[in-house]
Chain A
Amino acid sequence: MNHPRSAFGAPPGDRRAPPASRGTASGPAKPDPRRPLGSAPVRGSRTYYHFKPYNVGRWIVWGLFALVLLLAPKLWTSSFAHTMLSQMGIAIIVCLSYNVLLGQGGMLSFGHAVYSGLGSFLAIHTLNLVSAGKLGLPVSLVPLAGGLGGLLFAGALGYVSTKKAGTTFAMITLGIGELVWSMSLMLPEFFGGEGGITGNRVAGTPMFGITFGPQVQLYYLIAAYCFVSTAALFALTRTPLGRMLNAVRDNPERVEFIGYSTQQVRFLAFIVAGFFAGIGGGLAALNFEIVTAEVVGAGRSGAYLLFVFLGGATFFFGPIIGAVLMVIALVLLSELTQAWLLYLGLVFLFMVMYAPGGISSLIMMNLRLAAFGKLRALWASYLALAGTAFVILVGAGAMIEMIYHLQLNAALGPEMKFMGATLNSQRFDTWFGAAFVLVTGIALFELTRREFVRQWGTIQEEVEKEIKRRELL
């Protein structure tokens, strides 16, 4: 069985140890157990941790990732789509950087937007210097200025917050977030006050005719940064620092007794997270060409936390899913309905309660079943669950939308559109109908859920038995 973390593959350049002197399948020859520690090794006992000859899977995964980044703007060609894709690329970087803290280091930060936001501000000021001809920096490197800004602020502020872990850490990040937010109103020279700071990304001398004027050019810049950042952050999980960060998450006390300072590990991780958040912020500055104080606000920090959690903090690729969802929710869902925040809150609530590992853990659980050939048995249940959940959504959605309509759009009359149908939000039978659909949906869902739980349990048992059987072989 692969360890879950290896699912995403390693970046190119992670060299494998040669499989040459691996022991037999049942384990290598046992050395003399009485041999004292640190004496000359027995040659026959050498096994290498990475004995997989060549990891094809990870090249495929990274190749696909690059391909998706390359081809996405060819598939969705509208300029609106390009804007969204650009935002997704930026969000991926920031969410992955946040997960260095949350998923890998067990640090619940409520102020990650401070570093992406301050990165944005530094980048836009840098961009304006370039525009004014005072700085001979190509626009494509401006995000690095943002990254440097994020790194410096993470170094300064992180020194305070990483002194502690757990709740204290969370509180300090919250405090720092508020501090920076209030500073943004006190220092209009830097933060631009209410109006923010504007810039123009078509600045300096274009290289190879690339001006970054058209959105698609900027998209490819973002995609390049996104790929490199993802690879770098994945590589980090394979290094001594990355592993010790996991150790600090699992058991900070023990880490202190194997030679590492937990504070130092947290601090370094915090700086890394700040750097990549700053790069994301810098790209956002180029993308929007305006940076307002809200980018350092608690709302933004909360969104990073929420969507990284939704995507799943346990797995490296979870935040990527979360980032894509974040842009979809913030851009598309908010267009679709006024009640989008309510829906988002409900989704978050159910996720925390029923799938605390996020979407990525749901995917991995099902991949595990698929690996044992058990997924087919669940298809019918999944369909039934999705169907009944949809019925609940229709019922609940109708009621929520009617409430919002009554509260906010009463001047437009009682009629409103919902999923193609016209509903009268003031008539009793509409409400009764919606409630009926909702209750029926809940009842059916609960029935299918119970059946599913039973089925799931049986299959898990079968898988466990299978694993035991294979272990004995």
Chain B
Amino acid sequence: MNLRPQDAARRPPGTGTDPRVALGERPARGGPAPGTPALELRDVHKNFGKTQIIRGATLAVQPGERVAIIGPNGAGKSTLFNLISGRFGSTSGDILLNGRKIDGLAPYEINRLGLARSFQVSNLFTRLSVFENIRCAVLWQLGYRYSFWRFLADLRDANDRTEEVLEMIKLHKRRDVLAMNLTYAEQRALEIGITIAGGSTVILLDEPTAGMSRSETTRFVNLIREVTAGKTLLTVEHDMGVVFGLADKIAVLVYGQVIAFDVPDAVRANPRVQEAYLGSVLADAQVASVGP
């Protein structure tokens, strides 16, 4: 399991364990104790100047759980993602990934510990091809770091893994197209591809289906389900169809606090949620969820 990439590259194809297996199942170093949440927020606060955006968010997501974070506009959903992924530093409180404190770390350090995120607005390497976009995203986790003494073309494990991801996100036929020349839906798929390519175990998706048509959304939800199977998933989503399609549990964020975190039915029945966050939206969603 702790094959070094160069060993893997040297092995002839068809022998031994595939190095890619190591990617998906990379355990946190030292290994968290059983029962440790994959991601935990403890009384997290975030102020921008005097404005309090997140005021004591607490949440514990168990490994393999699939959580949708919903809430009215301005509730702080995106800010919460930015805090978890290290884009912003929190004002106070603790954020733990597999039992390890990650607040205060740089985004790349958090990513190396096994957390990856996507963005609401596609955030791609616009002048690189689809293939290169994905390959960039697998390099670090395969241990290639900043090496300048190895040719990319020789990194068989990285290239194989890239091919695999391209097929998962159904972009293998567009592999040589520059990211900037993709259609919107393709760019969204590539966005997800970059996020999952590194094999992180905790995946944060920020409105993955924003701006997509109904039929595209349905296909996309299936795609996300496939590529994030077995992982801990957090999504921010407005579209209730997507929420019910993707999530086992729903966290409701209102004014910077998680007021409910439970299975959909329980959340729907929760009087605090109904009070704070329009019951009608959930009712609509119920109708929508019957659709796909």
Contact = CB atoms under 8 A, between A and B. Distances in A.
A336 interface: no
Contact of A251 (B124, B147, B167, B229): B124
A238 B152 contact: yes
Interface string B139-169: 1110011111111111110011011100110
Interface stretch (A47-55, A139-147, A207-215, A417-425): A47-55
Chain A interface size, as a band, is 35 or more
Nearest to A262: B108
A40 interface: yes
B18 A41 contact: yes
Given A16-B153, A39-B24, A48-B159, A246 B108 contact: no
Contacts of B140: 258-260
A31 B226 CA distance: 12
Contact of A243 (B20, B23, B124, B132): B132
A17 B18 contact: no
A317 to B, nearest CB: 17
A272 B147 CA distance: 13
A1 B174 CA distance: 12
Contact of B226 (A33, A49, A259): A33
Nearest to B25: A38
Given A37-B24, A38-B199, A239-B152, A246 B128 contact: yes
Nearest to B149: A239
A250 B122 CA distance: 13
B129 A3 contact: yes
A259 B140 CA distance: 6
Interface string A235-264: 110111111101101110111111111001
Interface string B9-25: 00001100010111111
B107 interface: yes
A43 interface: yes
B24 A243 contact: no
A241 B194 contact: no
Interface string B98-124: 000000001110011000110100011
B282 interface: no
Contacts of A268: 146, 148
Nearest to B196: A37
A37 B147 contact: no
Residue of B20, B22, B139, B144 ringed by the most chain A CB atoms within 10 A: B139
A30 interface: yes
Given A38-B23, A38-B199, A235-B151, A251 B125 contact: yes
B136 to A, nearest CB: 5
Contact of B85 (A33, A255, A257): A257
Contact of A254 (B124, B147, B226): B124
Contact of B131 (A31, A36, A49): A49
A33 B22 CA distance: 19
A50 B153 CA distance: 7
A17 B197 CA distance: 22
A250 B106 contact: no
A258 B124 contact: no
A257 B108 contact: yes
A238 B146 contact: no
B214 interface: no
A430 interface: no
A74 interface: no
Nearest to A238: B151
A27 B163 CA distance: 11
Interface string A368-401: 0000000000000000000000000000000000
A15 interface: yes
Enumerate the 8 nearest inter-chain pairs by beta-carbon distance, A residue then B residue, closest first: A38-B24, A259-B140, A250-B125, A241-B148, A256-B107, A36-B229, A240-B144, A258-B137
14 contacts: A3-B176, A27-B172, A31-B164, A43-B14, A45-B167, A48-B156, A49-B131, A239-B150, A241-B148, A246-B127, A246-B128, A247-B125, A247-B132, A258-B197
